[in-house]
Structure 1
Amino acid sequence: MRRTARAAVCCSVLVVLLAVLGGCRIPGTAGSVTVLGPWTGREQAEFTRALDEFTAQTGIRVDFQGTRALGEVLSSGLRDGTPPDVAVLPSIGDLPRYGDRLEPLDDVLDRGWTAEHSRQWQDLARVGGGPIRAVPVHVNLKSMIWFPPGVPPPSDAAELDELSRSLRESGMAPWCVGMSASATSGWPGTDWIEDLLLRQSGPEVYRQWIAGELPWTSPQVRQAWETWQRFAGSGQVRGGRIAALLTEFQDASRPMSADPPQCLLEHQGSFMAGVHAARGEPEADFARFPGFTPEHPDSAGTWEVSADVAGMFRDTPQARELIRFLVSRRAQEIWAAGEAFSANSAVPADAYRTPSGRRIAAVLTDGRDRLCLDGSDLMPSPMRDAFQRAVLEHLSDPTRLDALLHALDRIRAQLPKHQFTDRACGG
């Protein structure tokens, strides 16, 4: 009898505690969700903080696996019938690869999604048409030139050309460049060429190229490659072409903060803000990359962007809850505190710790400037891989441009039309 009474008292105390605590959840009591993502190291730590907040709010346990070989791991899981509930894909361009294996999200997302994301991001989430199958959880601004504080920002191509010339005359190579990135080496060069094509020929030509409709040997695409050759030519790149080929992309800007600096300009995405901060370097300034030759009138105020997107491979209540959380203001505020950038316009400016971070966030969210997705991210993987290799070959030997462009066209012609997407820009 004494044990029974003691048990009854304990149960009563537990009931009272649960009533007082209300929304507080015990991890795992509301089920679990498996998540596969492309991050390790610092990026994984940032994402894990957001997942911890999700568990605290919902009681849903999250089993997260981070890997740089996401495509291989995900494909294996799909073949075995054991995909993750949710996967974060490194680009919107990966969506056609998985097709209907990704669950539609239109009835998963709540009004917060439409209220807190510009029409452009809502459009870009429907790349390929049809229902939304993935949503941006981590975005980056591209079309950027980074430089140390105090350097006059070039406002147009003429000023950028003049700045480059004056640096060369002083004995300094203007550009910090690194192409090495393990299995994806060359992608920083693809960003240059995409940016130049968008600037010089406008969003419609950019769309045609990404859709596989515009040949690589076209005058517009050739012009972009030849313009990039001006940036990467003799005296332009710290250490020369070979150094650019061998330098890890995240290390390329280190000489910018040396004393004295060894290069002053870098064409790279907004994620470098976090890299600079992690290395304890002074906050760098940035300007929009203008490109060379007169800019196409339709490219005014246009920026290239990229996005990591979350999709749902198993439709469970826990997976639905996580998708809604990942695009919410609360989750995105946690990311912003770690130098990541959000497509959610409700994230307050002061969530970003630096003036340059707040400027980047404004471009990404205010809907004033037109946003176009990274072109190579949208290409079928054989085309993207060949593009990256061609960048490395061109940097190594610029005299072979004709052969490289014809080789890229042969690959384009071999790929089925349905593997390309015909939507590249929002708005």
Structure 2
Amino acid sequence: MSKTRRISCLAAAASVLALAAAACGAPEEEDNDRGAVPDDATDCANYEQYGDLEGETVTVLGSIRDAEADEMTEAWEYFQSCTGATVEYEGTGEFESDMAVRVDGGNAPDVALFPQPGLMSNFTDTLVPASEELTALTTEGWTEDWVNYGTVDGTLYASPHSSNAKSFIWYSPSFFADNGYEVPATWDDLIALSDEIAASGVTPWCAGFESGGATGWPGTDWIEDIVLRESTDLYDQWVTHEIPFNDPQIVAAIDKAGSVLQNEEYVYGGTDTISATAFQEAGFPIIDGGCAFMRQASFYGAMWPAGTNVAEDGDVFAFRFPETNEGDNTMLVGGEFVAAFSDSEATEAFRQFLASELYHNARLQTGPWSTARQGVDPANATTPINQFATEILTDPAVTVRFDGSDLMPGAVGASSFWTGIIQWVDGDKTSQQMADDIEASWP
């Protein structure tokens, strides 16, 4: 099962089919709910650096589908019309398996948008390393943390594409205002507020881990957020297996998550509903006052029911997952990376374009999206939550760490960790038993 969960979520909520981009003169304007491509992105003078690519084609494979694919391809339409290149995009819900089949069959795309750095590292024998020009764009555009995730054994293969902030807790601003609650600054503050809300008769937390064949992944994010806030060094050692999965510090982090997720006084509908509650709908009771919180990434902003005002003073919004240690400034992140299997002139030009400030500013304005690309204007984002996420992601003072399960071997990150967290939240295994079983599954 490909760990392209953000895309699967948005695809489930969308009804528009993805369109492959094709160059045939200047793009026509369309009536839609998306933002407009900014003026500088429509000026062909800004594409002269890529040369005349008339008649050249670049094939792109990614996990992005449906409405989000439309919004993405809209942001590169002028690259096509101004350079003469054709970009053929294909989105797949089985990216991990499709990539392996195509590469093994000698039919790799020119460009692949990898949602997992760990998966990308499996293909370095056939990937084209970043050129000097692309390397310069990447190192100027992203912090060292992000550059490292596109690097394998000291060689840069990919610049980042989208980025999403995962360390978010969703809540109702009006519920907080009406009750005089303040956004908690630390984990201890979060638990104290949860106790206060529970004592008032409102259930503090909503949670849902059901996600079809990927059921369990929302629970892995809980553990990752907590481990990251204990120590970035601990997080790095855990993800790379320098310490075992069942290290006492990791078991303690699972227990810490259990203080919320296994607490009958805390969970809306009871703890036995978590594994069967679809994560896409898990936060909806916040709107009606059924619960106060749900932990989920910035991309959840696209999943609220139609008519929900997602804003700082709206029906729902999010605050950052509190730090455990005073002074820490961390964020769990996800995203895609732009890698190439071709060294053609058109492919190189397209890679450089996708790493440019021009593209990232344009993409912010063609639909809900967030990026960690330095130099962009977060105000270009089409929604308040994506502006908030982009402000965080582009802040060089924030220490980011990529989703841990996406970095772990597939047998763990997309298998035993998912199933283990379900057995744990259902009460069938203790934290120690879950950690022991996952450790035993590590390749």
Aligned to 1:424: none
1:219 equivalenced with 2:248 (yes/no): yes
**Distance in structure 1 (CA, Å) of the matches to 2:307 and 2:334:** 23
Secondary structure at the aligned position of 1:221 is classed as helix
Aligned amino acid, residue 366 of structure 1: D
Q: 1:165 to 1:398 in 2, by over 3 A?
A: farther
Pairing partner for 1:319 from 323, 342, 347: 347
Aligned to 1:39: 64
Structure 2 unmatched ranges of 5 or more: 1-43, 177-181
Aligned amino acid, residue 172 of structure 2: P
1:350 equivalenced with 2:375 (yes/no): no
Aligned to 1:389: 419
**8 Å Cα contact 1:139/1:306 also seen in 2:** yes
Aligned amino acid, residue 137 of structure 1: H
Secondary structure at the aligned position of 1:83 is classed as coil
Moved more, 356-365 or 315-324: 356-365
Secondary structure at the aligned position of 1:315 is classed as coil
**8 Å Cα contact 1:120/1:371 also seen in 2:** yes
Aligned to 1:3: none
**8 Å Cα contact 1:155/1:287 also seen in 2:** no
Aligned amino acid, residue 285 of structure 1: F
**8 Å Cα contact 1:106/1:131 also seen in 2:** no
Aligned to 2:337: 309
Secondary structure at the aligned position of 2:160 is classed as strand
Aligned to 1:132: 156
**Distance in structure 2 (CA, Å) of the matches to 1:235 and 1:351:** 41
Shift of 1:31: 0.9
**Distance in structure 2 (CA, Å) of the matches to 1:120 and 1:406:** 30
Structure 2-normalised TM-score?
Answer: 0.81
Shift of 1:37: 0.6
1:264 equivalenced with 2:262 (yes/no): no
**8 Å Cα contact 1:103/1:312 also seen in 2:** yes
1:210 equivalenced with 2:239 (yes/no): yes
Q: C-alpha deviations, 1:220-276, integer Å up to 9, x for none?
A: 000111111111121322222343212222221222223xx2112111111123334
1:248 equivalenced with 2:273 (yes/no): no
Secondary structure at the aligned position of 2:75 is classed as helix
Q: 1:30 to 1:369 in 2, by over 3 A?
A: same
Q: C-alpha deviations, 1:17-65, integer Å up to 9, x for none?
A: xxxx99899x983311111010112221221212323212322111111
Q: C-alpha deviations, 1:361-404, integer Å up to 9, x for none?
A: 12211201211111111101111121111111111125433322
Aligned amino acid, residue 383 of structure 1: V
Secondary structure at the aligned position of 2:164 is classed as strand
Q: 1:392 to 1:279 in 2, by over 3 A?
A: farther
Aligned amino acid, residue 378 of structure 1: L
Secondary structure at the aligned position of 2:73 is classed as helix
- Count of aligned pairs: 384
Structure 1-normalised TM-score?
Answer: 0.84
**Distance in structure 1 (CA, Å) of the matches to 2:67 and 2:129:** 31
Q: 1:362 to 1:277 in 2, by over 3 A?
A: farther
Aligned to 1:8: none
Q: 1:30 to 1:296 in 2, by over 3 A?
A: same
Structure 1 unmatched ranges of 5 or more: 1-20, 416-427
1:364 equivalenced with 2:393 (yes/no): yes
Shift of 1:286: 2.5
Moved more, 136-145 or 160-169: 160-169
**Distance in structure 1 (CA, Å) of the matches to 2:198 and 2:356:** 47
Runs of 4+ in structure 1 over 6 Å off: 21-25
Secondary structure at the aligned position of 1:265 is classed as strand
**8 Å Cα contact 1:36/1:66 also seen in 2:** yes
Secondary structure at the aligned position of 1:165 is classed as helix
Shift of 1:197: 1.1
Aligned to 1:339: 368
**Distance in structure 2 (CA, Å) of the matches to 1:71 and 1:197:** 27
**Distance in structure 1 (CA, Å) of the matches to 2:370 and 2:232:** 24
**Distance in structure 1 (CA, Å) of the matches to 2:192 and 2:82:** 54
Aligned amino acid, residue 118 of structure 1: T
Query: Identity over aligned residues, as a percent?
Result: 28
**Distance in structure 2 (CA, Å) of the matches to 1:279 and 1:247:** 22
